A and B are shown apart, each in its own frame.
Chain A
Amino acid sequence: DVKVTQSSRYLVKRTGEKVFLECVQDMDHENMFWYRQDPGLGLRLIYFSYDVKMKEKGDIPEGYSVSREKKERFSLILESASTNQTSMYLCASSREPGQLGGELFFGEGSRLTVL
């Protein structure tokens, strides 16, 4: 059974703290993505990666960074958390996009609250 696993389902952090969100996939997918989901705004792409050590900015990268040191692992880092980063964070992976079977497989999400 294919799986994308996010390290924490729920986190509460304070403003200014550094936050790490970890994501691991066991499907040997090349592509990995970080989205955030907010009511009324849908899913918005933060960063994505096509390969180890590769990263591309999505639509809302400000305030975030990412790391992909191994193919199966993609980490999202909030260098200094702010209250407007309170959100549901979803990690996803896929095979080569644009082909049948290139759909996204999502993790269960990490709900981050920044106080």
Chain B
Amino acid sequence: GQNIDQPTEMTATEGAIVQINCTYQTSGFNGLFWYQQHAGEAPTFLSYNVLDGLEEKGRFSSFLSRSKGYSYLLLKELQMKDSASYLCAVLGRGNTNAGKSTFGDGTTLTVKP
């Protein structure tokens, strides 16, 4: 099966940098996604990592270490609109998990002035 852990809540200050961690244990791995979900809205795609290393996309970066079962999402120059829930999702592979994205419970980030 899949098990994904991320912190429940984080708070940071506008303009600062915040790192949201995600650890996973999986029987098959085909990539890791990060999604952003504002309250009352649907999740939207932020990033995808399938190989080890850092993927940068503007103010957001995502890192993956497959050997450690670890990823993080890094948000720079925080803005008030970044207050949202951030979801880590592992894309499975193999007989039982192929094609399935399994989500962590999400990290609610609050950005304060």
List A residues at the B interface (Cβ < 8 Å). Answer: 31, 33, 35, 40-45, 48, 50, 56, 58-59, 90, 97-98, 100, 102-109
Nearest residue, chain B, Cβ from A100: B48
Classify chain B: how many residues form its interface, as a range: 20 to 34
Give the chain B neighbours of A59 by CB distance below 8 A. Answer: 100, 102
* Cross-interface CB contact of A31 among B48, B87, B99, cutoff 8 Å: B99
Give the chain A neighbours of B50 by CB distance below 8 A. Answer: 98, 100
Inter-chain contact A48/B99, CB cutoff 8 Å = yes
5 contacts between A and B (CB under 8 A): A43-B103, A44-B103, A45-B101, A102-B91, A104-B89
Inter-chain contact A90/B42, CB cutoff 8 Å = yes
CB distance from A102 to the nearest CB of B (A): 7
Give the chain A neighbours of B76 by CB distance below 8 A. Answer: none
Count A-B pairs with CB separation below 8 Å: 61
Give the chain A neighbours of B35 by CB distance below 8 A. Answer: 104
Give the chain A neighbours of B93 by CB distance below 8 A. Answer: 98
- Given the known interface contacts A102-B91, A104-B43, the answer about A45 and B102 at a Cβ–Cβ threshold of 8 Å is yes
Having A50-B99, A103-B48, one finds 8 other A-B pairs with CB under 8 Å, namely A40-B105, A59-B102, A97-B99, A98-B30, A103-B45, A104-B33, A104-B89, A107-B42
